[in-house]
Amino acid sequence: MADPMKIRAQLQGDVADVKILIFHPMETGLRKDGVTGQPVPMHFIQTLIAAHNGRTVLEAQWSQAVSKNPFLNFRVRGAKPGDKIMVGWVDNRGDKASIEATLS
Amino acid sequence: MKHPTTEGVKIRTMRRSVLRAVAVAMATAMLRPLQLLAGQWNKAAFDARAVADALKGIGVTATEDSDKIVLKAPEIAENGAIVPLEIASQIPGTQAIYILVDKNPQPLTAVFEFANGAEAFVATRIKMNESSRVRILARAGGKFYATMREVKVTIGGCGA
Amino acid sequence: MAAPEHDRGSMIELFKGKFPGFSLDEYVDGALMLSPDAKAQFDSIMEFPPFQGEIDKGRILWEKPFANGRTFSGCFPDGGRNVAGNFPYFDAASDKVVTFEMAINRCLRENGEREFGYGDRETMGILTAYARTLSDGMRMNVVVDSPAAQRHYQAGREFYFRRIGQLNLACASCHVTYAGNYFRDEIISPAIGQTTHFPVFRAGDFLHTLHMRYQRCMEAMRAVPLPAGSQEFNDLEYFHSYLSNGLPMRSSVYRK
């Protein structure tokens, strides 16, 4: 099974540059199924949270207009090697996933 | 970042398997804040079909144009399904960044709230249905600042 | 052989005249090299491509042992690293052009496995989306070194310049004569560099091998597409790839 998401975190001085990719269809509800011709129901990530050593640094809310397989890049100051960055999300169906990276 | 070399792929593969193990262990720790946050999704603002209603939904009464919101966006989007945006606010004390696409069926696209050392910076990719003004807001000290950019779209991205 | 080298040389001269100031290596970006705005979007998307999961699936397939315990990497020199640029090559014994995809199927056959469909995204598509990245950075090195090889090269060359379909266009009409011009909203890419980066992921999502791309071109020309893996396409790829000799490969990239 492929991973539900990927994370790359790099320290540049005391700033952690974090990039994540989430494998998610981000269905707008406007797309029609190629075979059945029926509209594909809306299915998208609504909320995302990122934490640095357990402290929330970013809270995001998204619409269905964030691209399929969403990409997000954010930066956290005051980071050092060994620190942990965690990112998690929930979609409109209640599906969720999270991932963690240790800075080096 | 360059395209993954074989070496890079191998290293990342190894790191990923470590990450996955950690991800499973941490999932429960993340569950509570995620659950709490899920309840906070601003349905009224995200469902709004007019920019004015979306702005109202996020509590904006007035905005001030600012050149201190630096937006990197395409002039002509290669494909409306995947329009890369990079936003940095140089306004001191920026607490949040908002992305709106005026002509999308629902203009409000994303809200990012920063805390505890996060820079007022975000890069992401969005869908655009047609050529439109992209409206970026930054919230600082209870005030809203705005910068706008016209992005031309030749291949619409909402049916994608 | 003199003729292919002459073809490649005159094509380079033609494009140098059309697009002054570009290095030959920049042609791997195709139409993107002519639009800094489009190239910036490409670079941003390639930083963490949305189709990375497909490449990962290809890696899993590449590493998955056959029933006999062997793997794909055992069928290629150096485990498949820096080999894709040597394809297609001409095989005198069979009097056929051999593509990288044919070598994949030969590997399956020799190991008692079922072959992949040349037009199947879920097998050949994703496998090559990974396997070809093992040759990223390799410079294309297609060899035409016998009269028999040159016959196949010529067949491919003839295809590239032949007018077909209801629009009466040849590949060369667009990608040589009108390269750099707009077709609707798109800048037309030059012939050189076109074979260096397949498969591509159009809209960051839909995998197209080179032969699938040929099919889309034929549809755009209002011609009936040939099957992926057909001899006509193999010969076309042989000529087409020769034009990109010396250029660095970079597979599995974003195209709009």
Least confident of B13-17, B110-114, B138-142, C9-13: B13-17
Model confidence at C185, pLDDT cuts 50, 70, 90, reads: confident
Q: Which two tokens stand for residue A45?
A: 């990530």
- CA dist C132 and C121 (Å) reads 14
Q: Which two tokens stand for residue C190?
A: 């030059």
Residues C89-106 have a mean pLDDT of 98
CB A30 within 8 A of CB A19: no
- CA dist B44 and B22 (Å) reads 36
Residues C113-128 have a mean pLDDT of 98
Model confidence at B12, pLDDT cuts 50, 70, 90, reads: very low
Would you tell me how many other CB atoms lie within 10 Å of the CB of residue A80?
11
B8 CB-side CA count, 13 A: 10
B142 in reach of chain A (CB within 8 A): no
Interface mutation vs chain C, best among A45, A69, A74, most C CBs within 10 Å: A69
pLDDT at B30: 67
Chain B residues near residue C137 by CB distance under 8 angstroms = 5
pLDDT at B99 over 50: yes
pLDDT at B8 over 60: no
pLDDT at C156 over 80: yes
pLDDT at B151 over 70: yes
Interchain proximity C38–B13, CB inside 8 Å: no
B124 in reach of chain C (CB within 8 A): no
Residues B71-90 have a mean pLDDT of 97
pLDDT at C86: 98
Instruction: Please tell me which residue of chain B has the smallest CA distance to A44.
Output: B109
Q: Which two tokens stand for residue A68?
A: 């399929």
Name the nearest CA neighbour of A17 among B57, B88, C43, C187. Answer: B88
Residues C204-223 have a mean pLDDT of 95
Q: Minimal Cα–Cα distance from B79 to chain A, Å?
A: 11
Question: Using one digit for the tens of pLDDT, what is the confidence trace for B15-71?
Answer: 444 444 444 445 556 666 777 777 789 999 999 999 999 999 999 999 999 999 999
Residues B65-89 have a mean pLDDT of 97
Q: Minimal Cα–Cα distance from B144 to chain A, Å?
A: 17
Residues C165-180 have a mean pLDDT of 94
pLDDT at B21: 41
- CA dist C32 and C189 (Å) reads 8
Query: Partners for A (CB, 8 Å, 3+ pairs)?
Result: B, C
Model confidence at A2, pLDDT cuts 50, 70, 90, reads: low
Interchain proximity B117–A77, CB inside 8 Å: yes
> Angle of helix C147-161 relative to helix C2-18, nearest 10 degrees?
30
Residue among C44, C133, C250 minimizing CB distance to B84: C44
- CA dist B116 and A57 (Å) reads 5
The mean pLDDT value of chain C amounts to 96
Could you check whether the bond before residue C199 is cis, i.e. omega within 30 degrees of 0?
A: yes
Least confident of A14-18, B29-33, B107-111: B29-33
Mark which residues 73-92 of C lie under 8 Å from B by CB.
Answer: 81
Q: Which two tokens stand for residue A76?
A: 């956290």
Residues C29-42 have a mean pLDDT of 96
Question: Using one digit for the tens of pLDDT, what is the confidence trace for A76-90?
Answer: 999 999 999 999 999
Instruction: Please tell me which residue of chain A has the smallest CA distance to C55.
Output: A2
What value of ipTM does the predicted structure carry?
0.95
- CA dist A18 and A76 (Å) reads 8
Active site residue C217: yes
pLDDT at B6: 37
What single string gives the DSSP state of each residue in A6-25?
A: EEEEEEETTEEEEEEEE---
Q: Which two tokens stand for residue A63?
A: 């619409």
- CA dist C56 and A38 (Å) reads 30
Instruction: Please tell me which residue of chain C has the smallest CA distance to A68.
Output: C50
- CA dist A76 and B117 (Å) reads 6
- Return the residue matching tokens 């790191």: B15
In chain C, DSSP assigns E strands to: 89-91, 96-98, 182-183, 186-187, 200-202, 206-208, 253-255
Mark which residues 77-116 of B lie under 8 Å from A by CB.
Answer: 81-83, 86, 101, 104-106, 108-116
- Return the residue matching tokens 């750099």: C180
Chain mean position to CA B136? 9
- CA dist A89 and C73 (Å) reads 37
pLDDT at C84: 98
Residues A93-103 have a mean pLDDT of 93
Instruction: Please tell me which residue of chain C has the smallest CA distance to A19.
Output: C48
Question: Using one digit for the tens of pLDDT, what is the confidence trace for C46-84?
Answer: 999 999 999 999 999 999 999 999 999 999 999 999 999
- Give the helix/strand (H/E) hosting B89: strand B83-89
pLDDT at B1 over 70: no
Helices and strands in chain B: count of H runs, count of E runs: 3, 9
C42 in reach of chain B (CB within 8 A): yes
Q: Which two tokens stand for residue B30?
A: 């993340």
Rounded to two decimals, the pTM is 0.91
- CA dist C134 and C141 (Å) reads 15
Rg (alpha carbons) of chain B, rounded to whole number: 18
Interface mutation vs chain B, best among C46, C51, C76, C136, most B CBs within 10 Å: C136
pLDDT at B105 over 50: yes
B134 in reach of chain C (CB within 8 A): no
